[in-house]
């Protein structure tokens, strides 16, 4: 029987997951089965990041395929609070009662109803593959706790379609609609595939076939050397001025930067007849696509005031993609922190969310193929004055399975960041549309 370790000491959570997976041939362990389990700090900026931290810590400690999950309550009126801080909303040592009281107090300044949702992010990690899933249940938050069957914020939450709180539901009722159920049901599909694959491997002789380039692969970021993409581009500002041109990028070899292996991408821009060439570096892993950040040339430098440049600290990479892609998935792309006059604040952040999924027909090598396409929204916030609201920049991208990015549209400031160079004029809207491509 396959063992999977759930990175938790929460008996209620363990019981929930065992119930969800009870009809498949796996044994669910938890940290309660070990005396020396790791204390995983939830330092992520999203539920998915925290779940990934837990799953990886569990696997690295015991070498057992692991689940990590993170969940919480989000109030729409409070811009997502308590969110990832749900368990410690009223402080590091807070209990459920204190957290609930703080939430009730903050909601008292807003009219009823108080809409919100329970969110759960779940990760499966076995040292090679990482799979993620999101689940949610929407409803309203009330100000008077009701029920004794749940924990956390259950006494304050009434799911849509019900007139009782999740703390007033039986365990069976709650499990039918829970955010954790929705997330782990998705991972359950993957586990069934793993178990089926194991049976096939055991029952069949090993065979070797020559791999062939395949546009029908589920890979959303093909990265073989020689791949190229040709985009038609336009950039327009509020005055109606439009710059037209083309962009071609291709992958050409690799290099090592700070002891990390990167592939090389060459970008050629031709805008209004003027050509420029730039080089950037990226690496692809099972968990995502990461781009190297060069502070001296990257496109974001033009929008950060000179007075703050000397005080910034930043990561050497940003996470362009989170793999595998899932609908409604969110992740932190990048963050720049400023230490200035004894203050510390985030001057520049980028977050991403998968907002839709659809299909599109492509003509490739004289045949038409239908591909799945994810739409991703990237949102950047720039803070240059703590007394003012941050400036917000957005970009929408589309990425097709077996092909890669096929369209970008959004603020030039953010698209310059991803291009790694200040190629588009500030305060303009940029559109890049794929015209042709070659996948090796």
Residue pair 165/146 in contact by the 8 Å Cβ criterion: yes
Please provide the DSSP assignment of 376-427 as one string: EEEEEEE-S-TTSPPEEEEEEEEEETTTEEEEEEEEHHHHHHHHTS--S-TT
Helix/strand/coil for 143: coil
In terms of Cα–Cα distance, which of 275, 228, 151, 291 is closest to 437?
228
Strands 26-30 and 2-6: parallel
Cis bond before residue 257 (omega within 30° of 0): no
Residue pair 27/3 in contact by the 8 Å Cβ criterion: yes
In terms of Cα–Cα distance, which of 408, 40, 426 is closest to 236?
426
Residue with tokens 């991803």: 418
Token pair of 43 as six digits: 């330092």
Cis bond before residue 113 (omega within 30° of 0): yes
Instruction: Report residue 48 CA to chain centroid gap.
Output: 7
- CB atoms closer than 10 angstroms to residue 275: 10
Residue pair 243/235 in contact by the 8 Å Cβ criterion: yes
C-alpha distances in Å from residue 300, one per residue of 273, 290, 305: 24, 17, 11
Query: Active site includes 70?
Result: yes
Residue with tokens 């070899």: 253
For residue 269, what are the β-bridge partners? Answer: 247, 276
Exactly one of 69, 70, 154, 411 is catalytic; name it: 70
DSSP tag of 82: B
Indicate which residues carry an active-site annotation.
70
């Amino acid at each position: 029987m396959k063992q999977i370790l759930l990175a938790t000491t929460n008996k209620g959570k363990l019981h929930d997951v065992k119930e969800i997976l009870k009809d498949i041939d796996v044994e669910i362990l938890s940290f309660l089965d070990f005396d020396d389990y790791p204390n995983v700090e939830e330092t992520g900026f999203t539920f998915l990041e925290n779940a990934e931290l837990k799953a990886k810590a569990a696997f690295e400690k015991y070498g057992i395929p692991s689940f990590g999950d993170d969940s919480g309550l989000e109030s729409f009126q409070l811009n997502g609070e308590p969110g990832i801080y749900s368990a410690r909303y009223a402080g590091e040592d807070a209990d459920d009662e204190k957290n609930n009281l703080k939430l009730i107090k903050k909601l008292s300044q807003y009219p009823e109803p108080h809409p919100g949702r329970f969110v759960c992010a779940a990760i499966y990690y076995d040292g090679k593959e990482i799979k993620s899933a999101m689940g949610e249940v929407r409803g309203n938050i009330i100000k008077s706790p009701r029920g004794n069957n749940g924990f956390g914020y259950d006494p304050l939450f009434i799911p849509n379609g019900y007139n009782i709180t999740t703390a007033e539901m039986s365990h069976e009722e709650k499990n039918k609609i829970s955010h954790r159920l929705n997330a782990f049901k998705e991972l359950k599909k993957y586990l069934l595939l793993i178990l089926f694959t194991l049976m096939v491997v055991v029952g069949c002789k090993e065979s070797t076939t020559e791999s062939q380039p395949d546009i029908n692969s589920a890979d959303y970021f093909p990265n073989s050397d020689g791949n190229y993409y040709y985009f038609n581009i336009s950039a327009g500002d509020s005055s109606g001025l439009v710059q037209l041109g083309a962009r071609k990028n291709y992958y050409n070899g690799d290099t090592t930067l700070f002891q990390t292996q990167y592939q090389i991408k060459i970008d050629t821009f031709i805008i209004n007849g003027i050509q420029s060439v730039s080089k950037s570096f990226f690496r692809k892993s099972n968990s995502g696509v990461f781009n190297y950040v060069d502070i001296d040339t990257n496109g974001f430098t033009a929008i950060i005031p000179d007075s703050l440049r000397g005080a910034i600290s930043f990561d050497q990479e940003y996470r362009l993609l989170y793999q595998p892609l899932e609908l409604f998935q969110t992740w932190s792309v990048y963050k720049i922190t400023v230490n200035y006059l004894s203050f510390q604040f985030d001057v520049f952040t980028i977050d991403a969310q998968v907002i839709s999924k659809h299909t599109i027909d492509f003509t490739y090598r004289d045949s038409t193929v239908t591909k799945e396409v994810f739409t991703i929204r990237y949102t950047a916030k720039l803070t240059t004055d703590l007394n003012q609201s941050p400036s917000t920049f957005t970009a929408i991208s589309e990425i097709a399975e077996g092909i890669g990015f096929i369209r970008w549209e959004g603020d030039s400031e953010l698209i310059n960041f991803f291009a790694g160079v200040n190629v588009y004029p500030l305060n303009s809207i940029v559109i890049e549309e794929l015209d042709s491509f070659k996948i090796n």
